[in-house]
Amino acid sequence: MPELPFELPPLPTIQQVIFVMIAILTVLGALVVVLARNLFHSALGLVTAFFGAAGVYVVAEAEFIGVSQVLVYVGAISTLITFAIMLTRGMMFGATSPRNRQSGTAAMITILIFLVLTALVGAIPWPQAGEPIVEGQAIIAGLGRSFVNEYVVPFQLLAMLLLVALAGAIVLARDRK
């Protein structure tokens, strides 16, 4: 067998293949959110991106976050957004462009930020592999314990915030007539 002038990269593992597929899904979803003219299609793209993010969490062995992501983002937030789109649907098919006057500048800035971030990420020597998580380690129990020990005050504040947001949203969106 002749020697190759360069070293072949190692074969991707199953996890890596799955990650790449999920990542492509997420990227496509995000692109649809940004570029679609029809706002409802944007919302569908958003749902796709949310699912992709949930898949990424599951690949990273954070199943609880992944399931919570589907529950909160897909179940609640996407539904709310879709509702708002339908309630304001007079705005959907305007003759105007979906982008505003500063969108050209915005596009340049965003692309620049993406390139800078990618270069930064590539330049830093990250650890090659995280420590393995043994099956059966009680991560969810640990999360629950943290919420009632170290993080009890932020947790209560969060509950307060959700309550205030709930009341505030009702007051704001109520028909005053």
- Residue 4 Cβ vs another protein, minimum distance, rounded to whole Å: 23
* Residue found under tokens 């500063």: 102
Task: Name the residue among 52, 61, 8, 11 with its Cα closest to residue 30.
Answer: 52
Q: Is 77 in the site for another protein (CB under 8 A)?
A: yes
Q: Which two tokens mark 176? A: 């005053």
Q: Which residues inside 47-66 make contact with another protein, applying CB under 8 A?
A: 47, 49-50, 53, 56-57, 59-65
Is the sign of the CA dihedral 45, 40, 88, 160 positive or negative?
Answer: negative
DSSP-assigned letters across all residues of 34-82: HH-SSHHHHHHHHHHHHHHHHHHHHHTT-HHHHHHHIIIIIIIIHHHHH
Least separation in angstroms between residue 137's CB and another protein is 4
Residue whose C-alpha is closest to residue 110's, from 8, 21, 30, 9:
30
- Interface with another protein includes 14 (CB under 8 A)? yes
Q: Are 92 and 85 in contact (CB under 8 A)?
A: yes
- Considering only residues 153 through 172, tell me which ones interact with another protein, judged by CB under 8 A: 154, 158, 161-162, 164-166, 168-172
Residue number with CB closer to another protein (3 or 106) = 106
- Residue 93 binding another protein, by CB under 8 A: no
Kindly tell me which residue out of 83, 148, 152, 156 binds another protein, with binding defined by CB under 8 A.
Answer: 83
Residues 100-129 that bind another protein (CB under 8 A): 100-103, 106-107, 109-111, 113-114, 117-118, 121-122, 126-129
Smallest distance, another protein to C-beta of residue 16, A: 5
In whole angstroms, the minimum distance from the beta carbon of 8 to another protein comes to: 17
- Longest CA pairwise span in the chain (Å): 83
Nearer to another protein, 5 or 122 (CB): 122
